[in-house]
Amino acid sequence: MGAPLATDGAEAGETPPSGAPIPPLFALICCLLCLAVMWAQLSERWVAHLSAATLFVIFCVAGVRRFGLRERVLMALALAVTAYALWQPQPQSWRPIVEFLSRGAFLAAFMMLMSSLREGAFRSRSVLEIGRYLTNQPPSRRYFALHLGGHFMGTLLNFSAISLLGPLILRGARAAQAPGSPPALYDIRLRRQISALSRGFSWFNLWAPTAIAQAVVLTTVPGSRAGIIAPLGLTIAFITLWVGWGEDRVTGYRARMRLAEQGFKVSPAEAPSFPAQSLVRFLAVAAGLLGLAAVVYSVSSIPFVSAIMIAAVPLTALWMTVQFVTASEPPTEPLSGRLWQLIRTAVPSGSPEAATLGLAGFIGLSAASLVSPQTMAKALPLSGTAPAVIYIAITAIIPLASCIGLPPMMMVTFIGAILVSVPELGLNPSLLGLSLLVGWSLNLTGSPLGATSLLLSRVVGISGILHAWRWNGLFTVLSWVVAACVLLAATGLLG
C-alpha cells in the first residue's frame, strides 16, 4: 500500500448514502452471519456450516421488515422448496438443506462485505475526481472513458460504481445543457453516457475475482477454473468494447444529423486534465485489496474469491484510516466513529440485496437437487446435442428469464446445478461456467428487471425498459453474437 495511499486524504464532498435506520440487533446478526461464513470458509467442520446456515435463517427472519416484495417472495419460495425437500422420504433429508443454506449464506455475506467498500469510496476525493474526469470527456473519447471506467471501477466497488457514476453523469449532462439548447441534446447525452457506463460495468463479471457472479458460478459448477474463464471472459469484454463503441458512434451521428436539421450544431467539449494522482491512489487501493486477499489465500486452502471477501472490511478500514490521517481539513467525526459505522451501518446496509442473492442461490441449488438427473436427462431434449449449442442457449435463457422476473442468481444456480448432474452431456465445467457468466452479464444491459436497470432507475430516474430495450437492446443482441462466437471457438479448442 505505502505512499500512494497516503495522499488520499481529503473528504470527497460526498457521504455514503443513508437509508432507513438499522436496528442494532439486526446489525449484530449481519456481522455474526459474516463471521460464521468466514469460519465455514476457513474450516471444513460441519458445525461451522451449520452455524452459517442457522444465522442465514435468522438473518432472513430478522430482516423481513427491511426487505421489499422481491425478498419476501423469494422467502416464500425458499420455504416451499424446503418443505417439499423435507417431505421427501429420504434419510437425513435435512443435511442437503443445511449445505445449501450455508452456500446461500456465503453469497449473502459476500454481498454485504463487498458492499462495505463503498464506505471508503464515497469518502474518497480520488474516486470523486476519477468520476468527474470520466463524465466530462469530449464525445470522441467519452465512450471509452465511461465504458472502461465502469468496467474497472466495478471490479472494486461492484454496484457502488453505478451508484457513484450514475448521478455524476446526470449532473454533468444537466450542467452541459446551455440555454436555448434543444431538449433532445440532453436526452442523447444522457443516453450515450449511461449506456457506456452500464455496458462497461456489465462485462467485468467475466473475469474479475471480486465479482459476485464469479463467486456464484465457481461455487455452483464444481471443476470450473477461473484461470480458464478469465482469459476467455476478457476476450469477450474486449470485443464488446468495440461493438459498443461502434453502436455509440452510429447513435451519435444520427443524433447530430437530426439536430442539424433543426439548425443546431453541437460544439465539442474541452477535455479535462487527467487525474493521474487520483488514479494511482485508486489503483493502490485495488492492489491493497488483492494483496491482502493473496495473503489470506496463501495461508489457507480457500478459493481466492473467498479470500477477497475476507479482505474487504480490513482493507476498507485501512482506507478510511488513511483518509482520516491525511485529511486536509479537521474531520468532523473521530476515526473510531467512522470505523464503528463501517461495522454498524456499512455492512448491514446491503442486507436486502444480500438476502436476494442468498435466497435465490438457495432456491436454485435446492430445486436442482430435487430433480433426478435421469429424469432431467429424459425430459430435456439434449441427448446428442453439441455442447456448444447448450452453452450458447444458456447465454440467451438467463437474460430472457430475467425479463419475466426470474432472478439471474436463481437461474444460474438452477441451470448450473442441473447440467452438472448430467455428465452424459459431456460439458466442460469452465465453459459451462463462462456461459452462465455471459448470460448474467447480458441480463445487466438487456433486462428491465436486471440489477443495473433497477439501480439506475433508483439513482438516475431512468425506466428499466428505456435503459434495457430502447438504449441497449441492439448492443445486447450484438454482444450475444460475439459471446456465441467465442464460446463456439473455445469449445473447439477445449472440448
- What are the residues whose beta carbons fall under 8 Å from the beta carbon of 328, sequence distance 6 or more? 9, 10
Q: Which of 471, 438, 477 is nearest to 211 (CA)?
A: 438
**Given a cut of 60, is residue 392 above it in pLDDT?**
yes
103/107 Cα distance (integer angstroms): 7
DSSP state of 124: B
321/335 Cα distance (integer angstroms): 7
Look up residue 160 and give its three cell numbers: 457502488
Q: Which of 24-28, 157-161, 254-258, 356-360 has the lowest mean pLDDT?
A: 157-161
Q: Which amino acid would we find at residue 204?
A: F
Between 152 and 400, name the one with better pLDDT: 400
Between 439 and 462, name the one with better pLDDT: 439
Contact criterion met (CB below 8 Å) for 240 and 203? yes
pLDDT for 388: 94
Question: Above pLDDT 90, what percent of the chain?
Answer: 32
Residue 446 pLDDT grade (very low, low, confident, very high; cuts 50, 70, 90): very high
Contact criterion met (CB below 8 Å) for 119 and 341? yes
Residue 434 pLDDT grade (very low, low, confident, very high; cuts 50, 70, 90): very high
**Given a cut of 60, is residue 18 above it in pLDDT?**
no
Between 438 and 92, name the one with better pLDDT: 438
pLDDT for 378: 66
129/98 Cα distance (integer angstroms): 46
Residue 396 pLDDT grade (very low, low, confident, very high; cuts 50, 70, 90): very high
Between 436 and 84, name the one with better pLDDT: 436
Between 220 and 332, name the one with better pLDDT: 220
Round the average pLDDT of the chain to a whole number and report it. 84
pLDDT for 3: 34
43/196 Cα distance (integer angstroms): 42
Cα Rg for the chain, rounded, in angstroms? 23
pLDDT for 275: 84
454/313 Cα distance (integer angstroms): 26
Report the predicted TM-score, pTM, of the whole model to 2 decimal places.
Answer: 0.73
User: Facing residues of 124 across strands?
Assistant: 11
pLDDT tens digits for range 322-354: 888 887 777 777 888 888 888 888 888 878 878
User: Facing residues of 11 across strands?
Assistant: 124
**Given a cut of 60, is residue 17 above it in pLDDT?**
no
pLDDT tens digits for range 50-76: 999 999 999 999 999 888 887 898 899
405/401 Cα distance (integer angstroms): 7
pLDDT for 389: 94
pLDDT for 14: 45
Between 29 and 219, name the one with better pLDDT: 29
pLDDT tens digits for range 267-319: 666 667 888 888 888 888 888 888 888 898 888 878 777 888 888 889 889 98
pLDDT tens digits for range 347-385: 888 788 788 878 888 888 888 788 776 676 667 777 778
Residue 176 pLDDT grade (very low, low, confident, very high; cuts 50, 70, 90): low
pLDDT for 453: 86
pLDDT for 6: 34
Which of the given ranges, 7-16, 30-39, 372-381, has the highest pLDDT on average?
30-39
Phi-psi region of 265 (alpha: psi -120 to 50; beta: other; left: phi over 0): beta
pLDDT for 178: 66
Contact criterion met (CB below 8 Å) for 312 and 121? no
398/388 Cα distance (integer angstroms): 16
